[in-house]
Amino acid sequence: MTATALAPADQLTRDVLARLAEAPDPRIRETLGALVRHLHAFVREIAPTESEWAAAIDFLTRTGQICTDRRQEFILLSDTLGVSMLVDEINHGRGGATTETTVLGPFYVADPPDVEAGGDIARGLPGAPLFVEGFIYSQSGAPLAGAIIDVWQSDDQGRYDLQFDDPGQFFMRGRLRADDLGRFSFWSIMPRSYPIPTDGPAGALLAAAGRHAYRPAHVHFRISGAGHDDLITHVFVRGDQYLTSDVVFGVKDSLIADFEHRTRTISLVGAPIERAHRYLRYDFVLPTASAATVAAQ
């Protein structure tokens, strides 16, 4: 009996897969195999003209060319296509025991300036004063003394310091440490909803899809503690008009909080605040270190 000949396109896919089958690392073998199968299926479905394929290559070329140490267009693409949140869900979809996670985004800076407890990360920028405080807990319920808390957010115009004309100065970000009872606090100003950068290929893609570019107002947190996995999340301002249409699909209900209007607060450390301010209380629960984290240490 003679085997039925494959169509040339199918034979090509099979040949490429066969060429990858000898990759020594099993994870690379699996990953490249899946990439080729899905990529070939995608191209078959779209059946691009040669000029359309050249435009796709040009799009990726421009995505790489616009990247600098202050601009990460590939993260924007991953975010706006929902891939970042898919990776987040695959890795952190743990169902409630710990604080939910969301995208890191392109505006995180490793090793931000230290801020003392109750210090002001706005450093004099104008805006509505915001006092933020809470506890950091371990998954076991114990306070996580000494946890490191990196915070960053937009100013009241919806811009991050990395987007300021005068680079090199840190605003609206800092590193705090939880005290012996796991408490942290800082002053800031109210963040504002903002469009992600639209002057590059990710913005062109949004425009072509007829999508807006906005994120609802939020404060970012990256929290680490000994024996725990890092927690990367934000807290969103309840009532923001973009909560249901975040351009990067990053909103989860448990991360939406009241930023209360207050004229008086007694803080968790017992200090009185006697002026008009917005107030956010949010407690975070970090996951116990996963096997992967322990193995990497």
Q: Which residues are catalytic?
A: 160, 194, 215, 218, 220
User: Binding string, 119-148, against ligand BEZ, x = CB under 6 A?
Assistant: ------------------------------
**Residue among 13 and 72 whose Cβ is closer to ligand BEZ:** 72
Residue 282 interacts with ligand BEZ (CB under 6 A): yes or no: no
CB 132 within 8 A of CB 188: yes
User: Binding string, 202-241, against ligand BEZ, x = CB under 6 A?
Assistant: -------------x--------------------------
Residue 149 interacts with ligand BEZ (CB under 6 A): yes or no: no
Residue 105 interacts with ligand BEZ (CB under 6 A): yes or no: yes
**Residue among 79 and 133 whose Cβ is closer to ligand BEZ:** 79
**Residue 50 one-letter amino acid:** E
C-beta atoms surrounding 139 within 10 Å: 18
Between CA 105 and CA 196 the distance in angstroms is 10
- List, in order, residues 6 or more apart from 236 with CB less than 8 Å away: 216, 217, 218, 243, 251, 255, 256, 257
Structure tokens that stand for 81 in this block: 């296509």
**Residue among 248 and 285 whose Cβ is closer to ligand BEZ:** 248
Residue 248 interacts with ligand BEZ (CB under 6 A): yes or no: yes
DSSP string of 186-249, one letter each residue: EEEE----EEPP-SSHHHHHHHHTT---EE--EEEEEEE-TTB--EEEEEEETT-TTTTS-TT-
Q: How far is the CB of 206 from ligand BEZ (least distance, A)?
A: 11
Question: Which residues of this protein are in contact with ligand BEZ, per CB under 6 A?
Answer: 76, 79, 103, 105-107, 196, 215, 248
